[in-house]
Amino acid sequence: MSTTVSDSTIKGKYDEVAGKVKQVAGEAIGNHKLANEGTAQQLKGHAEQTWGTVKETVKEAAAEQKAEHPDPAHDIREKMTSTAQNVKEHIQHGLDPEGHPKP
């Protein structure tokens, strides 16, 4: 698993903790509105953390995919330059030092 943590995960953890504090404080003083806001903020925090995990997982999977399957255009360019080199060498092999075709 990646050690990269998205901003969504960090913000989600903050909202989860802050919401829990509000919920507990609201329940302690009998303020249902504050307790409900805290619960809602916790839910938001959980959703943000889940979204962050999804983003992190997709980013990690994309990096793994890229590592497993390098750029196919690079392979094509390499094959083209190799072929051009082979053609050049073949032509040069068929010419004498003065550039005339060998008999």
Hey, what are 45's tokens? 């925090």
**Structural domain tally of the chain?**
2
Domain range for 85 is 70-103
pLDDT digits (tens, 9 = 90+) for 3-27: 678 898 899 999 999 999 999 999 9
Looking at the DSSP bridge assignments, the partners of residue 101 are 95
State pTM to two decimals: 0.60
Distance CA 22, CA 38 (A): 5
Same domain, 38 and 5: yes
Furthest C-alpha separation in the chain? 105
Same domain, 60 and 33: yes
pLDDT digits (tens, 9 = 90+) for 39-79: 999 999 999 999 999 989 888 888 887 777 777 787 888 89
Predicted local distance difference test score (pLDDT) of residue 3? 60
Same domain, 41 and 82: no
Predicted local distance difference test score (pLDDT) of residue 5? 81
Same domain, 44 and 7: yes
Q: Which of 46, 50, 42 is nearest to 22 (CA)?
A: 42
